Structure 1
């Protein structure tokens, strides 16, 4: 996914499902300048990591 879409998902009122290598994650923040997104595993906020936006996939 691109950084712009990650920002849209973060700002959305509804839940939009996002995966990181098959793991359901929540987007916590987006650093558009660096193309990085901070995410955490769904149901486990302690499992946070910063990844390139391109590694995220929107689930349809």
Structure 2
């Protein structure tokens, strides 16, 4: 569960960054905001995984 979740969360961050960049390039504020939201979600999930790792140790 741990490594797969970490990879999935990182993928969400990368996809969000791409979406944000595309939104900026096309002047689509909604797409840009969605990208930022996806990145934030990925960061929060990554933080949760790090906390889990601390308690496993």
The verdict on a shared fold, with TM-score over 0.5 as the criterion, is no
Shorter-chain TM-score: what band? Answer: under 0.3
User: Which structure features the higher share of strand residues?
Assistant: 1
Greater C-alpha Rg: 2
Q: Under a length normalisation based on structure 1, what TM-score does the superposition of the two structures give?
A: 0.26
Q: Under a length normalisation based on structure 2, what TM-score does the superposition of the two structures give?
A: 0.27
User: Which structure features the higher share of helix residues?
Assistant: 2
